[in-house]
Amino acid sequence: MKLVEPPSCSTPSTIVLIGKNRRGQWVAQEQNGLYGGLFVSRAQAIKYALFENGQHPETIVELPREIELDMTRRPQAGVTERAA
């Protein structure tokens, strides 16, 4: 039995950016840094983006400029801290 990890995102409004980095690798990254990865081909980057965004090709944007995978960005929390 093959285990499949569930998609990181379920909202179709999430934009996934794809493009090449300065080393020629393909990058796919959700616009807010929620998920992303490095790939050897454009096809694999698109396949990953489609899996993660719930099969919504209209939310994938291929950039004409270089893009670097940024794993330091943190998604913004929707909850604010309360003063005690």
Model pLDDT, residue 76:
59
Domain containing 11 equals 1-71
In a domain, 82, yes or no: no
| Average pLDDT for runs of 10 along the chain of length 84 | 55 84 97 94 97 95 95 60 40
Total of domains in the chain: 1
In a domain, 77, yes or no: no
Model pLDDT, residue 79:
38
Cβ atoms within 10 Å of 40's Cβ, excluding its own: 10
> Measured on CA atoms in the order 52, 19, 62, 30, is the torsion positive or negative?
positive
In a domain, 81, yes or no: no
In a domain, 42, yes or no: yes
In a domain, 12, yes or no: yes
Model pLDDT, residue 72:
84
In a domain, 45, yes or no: yes
Model pLDDT, residue 14:
85
